[in-house]
Amino acid sequence: MEFEAGIPIWTQLVDEFTRRTVSGEWQPGNRIPAVRELAGDLGVNPNTVQRALTELERRELCRTERTSGRFITDNTELIERIRVELAQSSADDYIRSARGLGLTQDQAQQLITESWHRHDHDEPESR
């Protein structure tokens, strides 16, 4: 994972862990890798991962079980709601950008359709 300058790493991790959850990479009810394992894989301080996971827990996307670790929520309705919210935010950003470029709705939709078909065989984006 590459981190953007100027944005706290822990907030980027919250976004990444949320993406992993809503995309199904981290399945409902499954155990989240240990803090040290995640930190090693991502090349960041364990305290940074801990802070991100604490925020995920605050948002109820995961829960801690005292002796077993952290687990993704079983609340699939919450996961789906967040997935839709993220997609809606991306759609809103695209519409603002397309309008700013002077595209019509038909032109913007045509670009989405063409791009969608170009990416039909792509793997889901991993950051």
Which CATH number applies to 9-74?
1.10.10.10
CA dist list (Å): 22 to 35, 39, 40: 20, 21, 23
pLDDT tens digit sequence for 67-89: 899 999 999 999 999 999 999 99
Residue 76 confidence (pLDDT): 97
Residue 123 confidence (pLDDT): 65
How far is Cα of residue 44 from the mean position of the Cα atoms in its chain?
18
Structural domain boundaries in the chain: 9-74, 77-118
Calpha distance 62→21 (Å, rounded): 9
> What percentage of the chain carries pLDDT values higher than 70?
96
Q: Is the pLDDT of residue 1 over 90?
A: no
Give mean pLDDT, residues 35-56: 97
Calpha distance 79→61 (Å, rounded): 7
Mean residue pLDDT across the chain: 94
Phi and psi at 47, nearest 5°, equal -65, -30
Q: Band of the pLDDT at 126, cuts 50, 70, 90?
A: very low
Put residue 60 in one of left, alpha, beta given phi > 0 → left and psi -120 to 50 → alpha: left
Enumerate the H helices of 29-119 as residue ranges. Answer: 35-42, 46-58, 76-100, 105-118
Q: Band of the pLDDT at 28, cuts 50, 70, 90?
A: very high
